[in-house]
Chain A
Amino acid sequence: MRPLTEEESKLVFAKLANFIGKNLIQLIDRADEPYCFRLQKDRVYYVSESSMRLGISVARPNLVSLGTCFGKFTKSGKFKLQITALDYLAQYAKYKIWIKPNGEMPFLYGNHVLKAHLGRITEDTPEHQGVVVYSMNDVPLGFGVTARSTVDTRKLDPTAIIVFHQADVGEYLRDEEALF
C-alpha cells in the first residue's frame, strides 16, 4: 500500500472529474473524516485515514482490500473506474441519465444504453461526458460515457446508442472475483 504519485493522481482525478467535476473537492477535503487515496496491487482505494493506519500493519501480500476500491491501473498505465466507485459517483454526479424499466435488464447485462430505453437525461449534457445511469426510481445502476450531446439525441433513431456502457451493478455477480 502506498500513496499515489503525482502522475497517478492526475490520471485518477481526471477520470473522476469527468463524472463529478468540481465535486471532486468534496472527496478530497471531507468535513467528517480525513480520507485519502491509496494504491495496493494496481488498485486504487479511497479509504479513511483511520482504517488506512490500521491497514499499514498488514503485510502487502496479505492485504486483500481496504476502504472503497475506485478502480485499477491497467498494465499499460491507464486508469479504469470500477463499479465499486458508483456510490461516490452517484452521490456527486453532475450529469445523469435515467433509463426506462424495459431498458434496465439490457443495461445490467453489460449492453450500451439505446435511445429507445432513455427515460430522462440532464439538460445540456455534452458529447463524451461521463454520466451516471439511474433507473426511473432513482436507483443508480452504473455509469458510462455519452455518445451524443443531449441536443443531438433528438434526431437519432430509437436503436441508436446514446450512452456507452462502462460499468453496471451486474458486475457484482459477473466479475465477483475480479472486483474489490
Chain B
Amino acid sequence: MDVSDILAAHAAKQITTRVEKEIPLLIDAGFLTVTDLNVVDKESYDADREDYLLSTARDGIQALISTLFSLPSTHTQDGPLTSLPPPNTPLPRAKPLPKPKPPTKWEQFASAKGIQKKRKERKVWDEEKQEWVDRWGRNGKNKQGEEQWIQEVPHGADVDHDPVKNLRNARKARVAKNERQRLQNESRAQSSSSQLPEREKRKQEIDRTLATTRVSTASMGRFDKQLEGEKKLKGVKRKFEPTETSVESEKKTNLAILSKLDGDAKRARRDVPGDDAINVRKAIRTVSKGRGSAALARPVGGRGGKTSSRGSKSGGRGRGKR
C-alpha cells in the first residue's frame, strides 16, 4: 500500500511554520518589520489577488513570529517576555549634515606647513615627584613655579620684585591671549560666511542710503513723486527663534522674563503712595486672634497684661510703618 499520497495530503493541510522563499525575507526584529524582496508571481496574483496577498502576508508574519520565538525570553507574571534586539534597518536622518567649521588661523597655518595635529595628554610625567601630574588645573604643572615654597630672586632685583606674581601674570596673559585668538577666529568664521565682494557691499550701502532718504520727507515718502522703474520699499523681515530649541535655554529665558516682570511690578507698587498702609481690619484680626477689636480693648483677668501688651506692640508697629 502506498501511503505517500495520504502523507502528502496531510502535509499540505498542515500549514508549515517554516517559510521558504527564493530570496530570503529580510527580518528586522527591532522594528518588527519584514521585507519581502521576491518578485510578485503574476499568474497567481491575477488568479486570486486577495488570496495571494493573504498568503504573502501570512508568510511574512510567520517568519517574524518564528524569529521572535527564537529570541531569548524571560518568564514573568504576565507570560514570557522578550526584549527586542536593536534595529538594524538604517533610517535616513531628518536634518542635513552639519556644515564643516571654517578652519582656525592655526589650522590654516598647520595645513600649509604640513604640521600634523598632535594630541596633548592631560597628564605629564613629573621627574622630581616621580608621578603623573595634571598639565593644568589644580596642582597643575603650569603652576609649579608659583606654588614653590621657596623662590629664587635674581641678583640686583627690585625691592618689590615678586617672582610668584610675575609667573602668575605671565600665565594669566597666556590664557588671555588664547581667549583673544579664539574670539578672533570666531569673528573671522562669522565674517567669512557672510563675506561679500567689494562691489556688492557698496551696492548694499547705496541701497540702504536710498531707502533712508525715501522715507525721510515730511510725509515719510508717502506723497513723493515716484521715479520711473522705482521699486516698492521692502520692509525688514522679522526673525524668530527656531521652533526646536533646547528646553533648558528656553526655560532660562522665560524665567528671566518672569523675574524682570516681578521687578517691574514691585517698582510700580513702591511708586504708588499710600499703598503700603497696613490693612487695619486684617491686623486687628490677627492680633486679637479673630475675636475682634472689642477683645483687644478690654483687659483680660490675671494674664491680661500679656495679651494687651502684645496688642499694643503690634499697634505700635503698624503706626510706625505708616
Chain A residues with a Cβ under 8 A of chain B? 1-3, 5-6, 9-10, 13-14, 17, 22, 24-25, 28-29, 34, 36-38, 49, 52-53, 56, 123-124, 151
Tell whether A3 pairs with B247 under 8 Å between CB atoms, given A25-B258, A123-B282, A124-B279.
no
Of the listed residues A2, A28, A29, A37, the one surrounded by the most CB atoms of chain B closer than 10 A to its CB is: A28
| CB-based contact A36/B257 at 8 Å | no
Residues of B within 8 A of A14 (CB): 261
| CB-based contact A3/B261 at 8 Å | no
| CB-based contact B247/A36 at 8 Å | yes
Query: Residue B106 at the A interface, CB < 8 A?
Result: no
Interface residue SS majority, chain B: helix
Residues of B within 8 A of A56 (CB): 243-244
Tell whether A151 pairs with B261 under 8 Å between CB atoms, given A3-B240, A3-B241, A56-B243.
no
Tell whether A53 pairs with B279 under 8 Å between CB atoms, given A13-B257, A34-B251.
no
| CB-based contact B244/A28 at 8 Å | no
C-alpha spacing A34/B241, complex, angstroms? 18
Residues of B within 8 A of A49 (CB): 247
Question: B180 to nearest A CB, angstroms?
Answer: 31
| CB-based contact B282/A124 at 8 Å | yes
C-alpha spacing A151/B245, complex, angstroms? 47
Query: Can you offer 7 A-B residue contacts whose CB atoms are under 8 A?
Result: A2-B241, A2-B243, A3-B243, A13-B257, A17-B261, A34-B251, A124-B282
Chain B residues with a Cβ under 8 A of chain A? 240-245, 247, 250-251, 253-255, 257-258, 260-262, 265, 279, 281-282
Known: A3-B250, A24-B258, A34-B247. 5 other contacts (CB 8 A): A2-B243, A22-B262, A25-B255, A28-B258, A52-B243
| CB-based contact A2/B258 at 8 Å | no
| CB-based contact A36/B240 at 8 Å | no
Closest A residue by C-beta to B238: A5
Residues of A within 8 A of B253 (CB): 6, 9
Residues of B within 8 A of A3 (CB): 240-243, 245, 250
| CB-based contact B257/A9 at 8 Å | yes
C-alpha spacing A71/B272, complex, angstroms? 30
Residues of B within 8 A of A9 (CB): 253-254, 257
Closest B residue by C-beta to A3: B241
7 A-B pairs closest in CB distance: A34-B247, A2-B240, A3-B241, A28-B254, A9-B257, A49-B247, A2-B243
| CB-based contact A53/B258 at 8 Å | no
Closest B residue by C-beta to A9: B257
Question: B202 to nearest A CB, angstroms?
Answer: 33
Question: A27 to nearest B CB, angstroms?
Answer: 9
Question: A53 to nearest B CB, angstroms?
Answer: 7
Residues of B within 8 A of A17 (CB): 258, 261, 265
Residues of B within 8 A of A2 (CB): 240-241, 243
| CB-based contact B243/A38 at 8 Å | yes
C-alpha spacing A124/B283, complex, angstroms? 12
C-alpha spacing A37/B129, complex, angstroms? 58
Question: A164 to nearest B CB, angstroms?
Answer: 21
Question: B19 to nearest A CB, angstroms?
Answer: 35
Closest A residue by C-beta to B257: A9
Residues of A within 8 A of B265 (CB): 17
A13 in complex: contacting residue of B243, B244, B250, B258, CB < 8 Å: B258
| CB-based contact A28/B251 at 8 Å | yes
Residues of B within 8 A of A10 (CB): 257, 260-261
Question: A139 to nearest B CB, angstroms?
Answer: 29
Tell whether A6 pairs with B247 under 8 Å between CB atoms, given A123-B282, A124-B279, A124-B282.
no
Residues of B within 8 A of A38 (CB): 243
Residues of A within 8 A of B244 (CB): 52-53, 56
Residues of A within 8 A of B250 (CB): 3, 36
Residues of B within 8 A of A124 (CB): 279, 282
Closest B residue by C-beta to A5: B240
Residues of B within 8 A of A5 (CB): 240-241
C-alpha spacing A14/B282, complex, angstroms? 28
